[in-house]
Amino acid sequence: MFYLKYSYLKYNLKFDTNCNSVTSLAKLEKRLPSKQLNIGSNPIGCNKVKLKTRNKNKQTKIKVMMFISIMILIVAIALPSINRNISPNLYLRISSLLLLYTGALTFNAFYIQSIGSGIGIYNGLFQITLFTQLFDIVIVLTGSVILIAWPLINHKFIDNNLELNEKGHNILSINNYRIKYSIIVLISTLGSLFLVSSSNLITLYLSLELQSFGVYILASVYRHSELAISAGLKYFLLGSLASCIILLGCGLIYTFTGLTNLDSIYSMISVIDNNNVLLGFSLGLILIFIGLLFKIAAAPLHNWAPDVYADSATIITTWLTIMPKISILLILFEIQTHINLIDNINILLELNPLNNIINSNILSFNNNYLWSTNLLLISSLLSLIIGTILGLAQSKIKRLLAYSTISHVGFILLALAINSEQSIEALIFYIIQYTITNLNTFLIIILFGYIIKNSYKDLIQSIMFEDETGTENDINYISELKGQFFLNPVLSITLTICLFSMAGIPPLIGFFSKQFVLYSAIQNGYYFMSIIAIIVSIISASYYLKIIKILFTTEENISEYSDKEFKIINNLNSNSEIEISSTNSFIISTLTLSILLFVLKPSIFLNSTTILSLSLFNY
């Protein structure tokens, strides 16, 4: 019976000994001439096997290279003789270059013909596809930009300020956290790369925890800040709860199927006629979905996100809002796509004239697995509504952007729930534009913080403290941006462009991403969700416009400083400066131009997303 079901569907399982991954005859027939499918001295085509083996070796070396590099940096930090001779900023630059080099190696291994439907590495624990390779490049490039874009402050006035020196304050200790930050970012990035390529329940959970532990430490890296410790502890406790739920789901799936390889589990479930196994698999998958939705702050599991984002330093919040979400959304996409494939197989079985031979119990599988789409749609609906409505009442800029992120997650989950070729193309494009826009927004806010705090009493007070809390140069309230257009017009205009893009104002890139999601929703009959998405997009534009209004409002006079404060300000203005380096300017300019000028050359992004979506549905 097992063979009859698979032979009719041409879904016989064959193990490619060269790539250690499960493939199917249907996929092999699409990729190879029929004369190369015979099992003999030349199975599957020797040339293609050699290409796959070569590509597999490259992918394996990339992960090993990054792991060894992290170990070398940790040893360099631990050895005082080396650590004294390396500045903290150099650690940031080395880590950024390491990520850039990893992205270059990944791009060099981007062979479309040899990859096909995927290459298994480490005995099938990870599956490398076109989809995973593209987002590996996106992840490492984003991480590199966040590392290299940290603004620098020149404190030359310290030597001339005797009052501060007599108190023994070590102002340059501000840089010590950059060493920890760079290493933790590399570890979290490595976990993200592993998670995107995971094809086994064990590697999925371990990769997720490797990424999560790095994020927990980042949230509380400023140990002298009560807010940062509170945010890190809250993130750790609630994130651990989500991890326990995911682990429970993985345990249930293994209990009922006896398998950990995801491809093998999907193949078994597509033909199994045991309702107990199907029920256990469904329950386990529901728990995994809930845990993953919790970690991306999708409503109604979003309560932790605004508090954690607001209490963490802005440079930490930049990482929290982007990197963990990319990898977790991609693993959600992989699971949802395979569930949709299983549903399609059961539809074929139902229409199959041989279904009298096949056990009729399997035909109920398609109806039992509508929960995944419904769960994503409910979470999408709540994320759109809650992220928009609660964002209207926020006065803190990072809390407002946290609710904005929840609203964007709602659009992504809508595209994920539809799971058609158009929606997958919209999903990929939305994730890329979300990364670009959110990254640029936070980088600009970080620069605004350094500029504003350099001119006001807050910077003076931060210099007086020996222990850094990480928020001395952060902008907390939206009102702090008041009148910045008249002082920093270029940064204000770039921030305005980013906010307009988030609101979906044409012809910016954010408008087209929302348009693609709404178009795919209407094409597939999700009219109610489309109407809700349009309404919340209009409403959400109001709190983006609130920030823009404050930017372009004239600032009131500043209160008088004391004589001591004036003395420090004069030393600060004459002997120190904020170095908005050419690197920072180039990064912000490039990201802003990609948001603004996308309409002139959309094929740069759209061709890649179209090819990926088609490859996913054709293989």
pLDDT at 361 over 90: no
pLDDT of residue 508: 92
C-beta separation of 422 from 407 below 8 A = no
pLDDT of residue 85: 74
pLDDT at 97 over 60: yes
Mean pLDDT within 195-224: 90
Q: Residue 595: is it exposed, middle or buried by C-beta count within 10 angstroms (0-12/13-18/19+)?
A: buried
d(CA 336, CA 613): 14
Mean pLDDT score of the chain, rounded to an integer?
76
pLDDT at 13 over 90: no
310 phi, psi to nearest 5 deg: -75, -35
pLDDT of residue 601: 84
pLDDT at 499 over 90: yes
199 phi, psi to nearest 5 deg: -130, 25
pLDDT of residue 64: 76
pLDDT at 463 over 70: no
Confidence category of residue 117, pLDDT binned at 50, 70, 90: low
Mean pLDDT within 577-596: 81
pLDDT of residue 352: 44
| pLDDT per residue as tens digits for the range 365-421 | 444 456 788 899 999 999 999 999 999 988 899 999 999 999 999 999 999 999 888
- pTM here is 0.82
In the chain, the percentage of residues whose pLDDT exceeds 70 is 71
pLDDT of residue 578: 52
pLDDT of residue 595: 93
pLDDT of residue 55: 52
pLDDT at 25 over 80: no
pLDDT of residue 582: 76
Range 343-346 contact pairs with CB under 8 angstroms and sequence separation of 24 or more: 343/369, 345/9, 345/11, 345/270, 346/270
Contacts of 282 (CB under 8 A, 6+ apart): 368, 369, 371
- Reduced to 3 states (helix: H, G, I; strand: E, B; else coil), residue 153 is strand
C-beta separation of 190 from 102 below 8 A = no
| pLDDT per residue as tens digits for the range 268-309 | 888 877 788 888 888 999 999 999 999 999 989 998 999 999
pLDDT at 175 over 70: no
pLDDT of residue 563: 52
Q: Name which residue leads in pLDDT, 321 or 338.
A: 321
pLDDT of residue 50: 47
pLDDT of residue 115: 53
Tokens of 48: 């293609």
pLDDT of residue 367: 46
Rg over alpha carbons for the chain, rounded to the nearest Å, is: 26
Helix H or strand E segment including 385: helix 371-389
pLDDT of residue 521: 94
> Which residue reads 């826009």 in tokens?
437
Confidence category of residue 110, pLDDT binned at 50, 70, 90: low
| Residue-range definition of the domain harbouring residue 566 | 2-618
Mean pLDDT within 28-53: 40
pLDDT of residue 410: 94
d(CA 409, CA 351): 36
- Reduced to 3 states (helix: H, G, I; strand: E, B; else coil), residue 307 is helix
In the chain, the percentage of residues whose pLDDT exceeds 90 is 35
C-beta separation of 95 from 147 below 8 A = yes
Tally of structural domains, the chain = 1
pLDDT of residue 606: 84
354 phi, psi to nearest 5 deg: -90, 10
Residue type, 498: C
pLDDT at 160 over 50: no
C-beta separation of 387 from 303 below 8 A = no
| pLDDT per residue as tens digits for the range 477-497 | 898 888 888 888 999 999 999
Helix H or strand E segment including 558: none
